[in-house]
Amino acid sequence: MKDVVFLTSKAKSNLASSVVRSKQLSALYSLLRPELNVHYHEVSRGVSERKLGRINIVNKAFMTNFPARSLPPETPTRRFILDSVDAKIRPEYVPRLSGLISTNFTEVKAMGALYPGKLIFYVPLHPNLEVAGFAAQGHDFRIGYFGETFNCRYLPELVARCGVEVVTTPTNRQVGSWARRFTDFPAHISFRRDRLSDGRKPFTKGIFAALSGAVYVGDAVPEAKYLLGEDYPFFAKGDSLDDAVAVIETARENFGNTYWDIARSRMENVARESSVQRVLWHLDQVVDHFL
């Protein structure tokens, strides 16, 4: 019988972040624990029980494409743990699970209160490994937005007033076509527009900025404050357009000085927390709990 199975949906683009997370973690974890039988399974129609394992990590892509009844009942030798990443957890899934994974440390306590009787694990989000190796230049202030344009508040205004440059990151395009732009930008913005489909968001924009050695400029969301500190110099003071403009101009004015160095040193905390070594350590705690 398989020991650990990463369960996802074949219906999703194989470049989607949730699918990439499962695929890469399964490969990396099999190297970390070669004595275990670790598998990655993309489901297209239904779950084959013979392809399940003792520990089955159900990915966001599976949850959003299949009803909860697609999972067979748990047994003492077959457990399901949901890794919803940033999606809202479908209530009908919860009774079929032994535990849930949060990619946001500041949400673990709240999830425990919301799902009493369920084990809550923290496994940070790691950046797509194909993006590694694109270090940001440090001689010219340029500030970029990486992501889907509809996710950012005030983006047209920030482009016009602050010179923010936009790099879209569609999941149907190979990473290399946009990741190379990381070298252009020593600063990344994030002013997220809330969406009904949002769950408990990991600090994705900060993680990718840290990967390239850039600084984060944007909202002081709880995970950002936890990783960067309440006094991080490039947090917006509020939610308005003027607040967004002000913090971008603060970053521009402090480019290369002591405050910039402080911000970059704080970003190293984000890089450490989202490193493969750290993520695998947390994943190993999940697996060891059930083995």
Task: Flag whether pLDDT at 196 surpasses 60.
Answer: no
Confidence of residue 171 (pLDDT cuts 50, 70, 90): low
pLDDT mean over 119-132 = 90
Task: Flag whether pLDDT at 253 surpasses 80.
Answer: yes
If you write DSSP's letter for every residue of 99-156 in order, what string do you get? EEEES-GGGHHHHHHHSTTSEEEE------GGGTT-PPPSSS--EEEES-GGGBTTHH
Cα–chain center distance at 255? 27
Confidence of residue 220 (pLDDT cuts 50, 70, 90): very high
Q: List helix spans (H) across the chain.
A: 17-32, 60-65, 108-114, 155-162, 176-179, 204-211, 222-228, 241-253, 258-273, 276-290
Using the structure block, give the residue that is written with the tokens 């999941």: 171
**Across 40-44, 127-131, 259-263, least confident range:** 127-131
pLDDT for 188 equals: 98
- Identify the three-state secondary structure at position 53: strand
Tell me which architecture the domain covering 129-273 has in CATH.
3-Layer(aba) Sandwich (3.40)
pTM of structure: 0.92
pLDDT mean over 211-223 = 95
pLDDT for 197 equals: 54
Chain segment 15-39, per-residue pLDDT in tens: 467 788 999 999 999 999 999 999 9
Chain segment 55-67, per-residue pLDDT in tens: 999 999 999 999 9
Confidence of residue 172 (pLDDT cuts 50, 70, 90): low
The residue extents of the domains of the chain are 2-126+276-290, 129-273
pLDDT for 146 equals: 94
Task: With beta carbons less than 8 A apart as the criterion, state whether 122 and 279 touch.
Answer: no
- Whether 129-273 and 2-126+276-290 are alike in CATH topology: the answer is yes
Task: With beta carbons less than 8 A apart as the criterion, state whether 230 and 148 touch.
Answer: no
Chain segment 85-112, per-residue pLDDT in tens: 988 999 999 999 999 999 999 999 999 9
What CATH code is assigned to 2-126+276-290?
3.40.50.2000
pLDDT for 271 equals: 95
